Amino acid sequence: MARVTLADVARAAGVDMSTASRVLRGEASQRVREETRVRILKIAEEMQYLANPLARGLRTQRTDTLGIVVPQLDNPVFASAIRGAELEAAERGYSLLISHREPGETATTIAKISRTNRVDGLLVASLDDDEVLRTDLAAARVPFVLMNRILPGAPLSVVLDSRAAARKGVEHLTALGHRRIAHLAGREGGFNARERLQGYRDGLAAAGIAFDEALVGVAGYTAEGGTQAMRALLPQHPTAVLAATLVSAAGAMATLHEAGLRIPEDISVIGLHDAPVARMLYPALTSVAMPTEEMGRVAADLLIRALGGEDPTPVAPLPPGTLVVRGSTGPAPI
């Protein structure tokens, strides 16, 4: 039970702590005799020595820990980003401190976590407005990288190419012959929402379809929002819908079912951000996969490089993944 300390190992190996430290730390230029090195390593192994990160951190002023703060845990996008960050961090010798905060608590969290030497840097996802986020981040005393959004003035952020994704979705629909395609947008004014709307227009333009504002509704990111927005759009008689998320797509499908429309015979539905829940809907939802795990990975990589003193190299938006065709999309009705 009693923890094995460096001193214990050194004593057992008959060397000084400093020597043991040198070896155990895996220092590059270990000016230590091979024989001694091996002996110390062997003994440490036998004694199951594990360095105390508190003591180490106190001395080095580093924790080899990255913090990641997300607004929701049960959001597939963030869950997946966390996984990616976790993998990248682990590969690079860092731990990940996951911090889940409700909107509004973000500032305090960032302040606490970053000002108490708990983490060397921060990965931040936020659904808050620019101004709020900016204020929150002002409290950060460590380098940070934004995920899934940009913030004017913040140099490091990793985003998904929502515009290309939306376009890809629309192209799938136009290829199926659809021309009256509705769009359920996310939160008005949001970065991704803006991008997706643009991609939606790109897709229409590529097929020579005129943009019609009446076919765009704001659904936000809830099922209820999708239901409402879809209901409002019904009188426009779209033959297909591009939803910003799986959740709003699900909400929209409820409206369509209620209206007695068959999916996909009467109307096709496509969502953005593929995730297991797409298969839980009926019919299973066609959707554009997004590299959310990659986003976490890249963000972690960027942060670690920044911590290493490298200069912030902004990365381009991550291109969408494959279009996963399921049962919710089909040829346009004649």
Please give the residue ranges that form the binding site for DNA (CB under 7 A): 3, 5-7, 14-19, 21-22, 24-25, 31-33, 35-37, 49-52, 55-56, 58-61
Which residues between 131 and 170 bind a copy of itself (CB under 8 A)? 141
Residue 16 binds: one of a copy of itself, DNA, none (C-beta under 5 to 8 A by kind): DNA
Q: How far apart are CA 184 and CA 166, in angstroms?
A: 11
> Counting contacts by CB under 8 A, is residue 26 touching a copy of itself?
no
Beta strands in the chain (DSSP E): 65-70, 95-100, 121-125, 144-147, 157-158, 181-185, 216-218, 240-243, 268-272, 286-288, 323-324
* Half-sphere exposure for 123 (CA within 13 Å, toward CB): 36
Q: How far apart are CA 237 and CA 260, in angstroms?
A: 13
Q: Which two tokens stand for residue 72?
A: 């929701």
Looking at the Cβ atoms of 29 and 116, the one nearer to a copy of itself is 116
Q: Which two tokens stand for residue 269?
A: 């539905």
Q: How far apart are CA 314 and CA 251, in angstroms?
A: 36
Nearest distance from C-beta of residue 11 to DNA, angstroms: 11
Looking at the Cβ atoms of 17 and 207, the one nearer to a copy of itself is 17
Nearest distance from C-beta of residue 259 to a copy of itself, angstroms: 12
Which residues between 198 and 237 bind a copy of itself (CB under 8 A)? 223-224
Distance in Å from the first CA to the final CA of the chain: 75
- State the CB neighbour count (10 A cutoff) for residue 217: 23
Looking at the Cβ atoms of 117 and 222, the one nearer to DNA is 117
Q: How far apart are CA 238 and CA 234, in angstroms?
A: 7
Contact range with a copy of itself by CB under 8 A, out of 78-86, 149-157, 169-177, 230-238: 78-86
> Counting contacts by CB under 8 A, is residue 260 touching a copy of itself?
no
Nearest distance from C-beta of residue 285 to a copy of itself, angstroms: 10
Q: Is the dihedral of CA 333, 173, 272, 211 positive or negative?
A: negative
Looking at the Cβ atoms of 137 and 164, the one nearer to a copy of itself is 137
Contact 277, 304 (CB under 8 A): no
> Counting contacts by CB under 8 A, is residue 117 touching a copy of itself?
yes
> Counting contacts by CB under 8 A, is residue 108 touching a copy of itself?
no
Residue 200 binds: one of a copy of itself, DNA, none (C-beta under 5 to 8 A by kind): none
Looking at the Cβ atoms of 3 and 31, the one nearer to a copy of itself is 3
> Counting contacts by CB under 8 A, is residue 31 touching a copy of itself?
no
Judged by DSSP in three states, 142 sits in coil
Task: Produce one character per residue of 4-23: b if its CB has 16 or more CB atoms within 10 Å, e if not.
Answer: bbbebbbebbebeeebbbbb
Nearest distance from C-beta of residue 117 to DNA, angstroms: 8
**Interacting residues toward a copy of itself by CB under 8 A:** 1, 3, 48, 50-55, 57-58, 63, 72-76, 79-80, 82-83, 86, 97-100, 112, 115-118, 141, 223-224, 246-247, 250-251, 253-254, 257, 275-277, 279-284
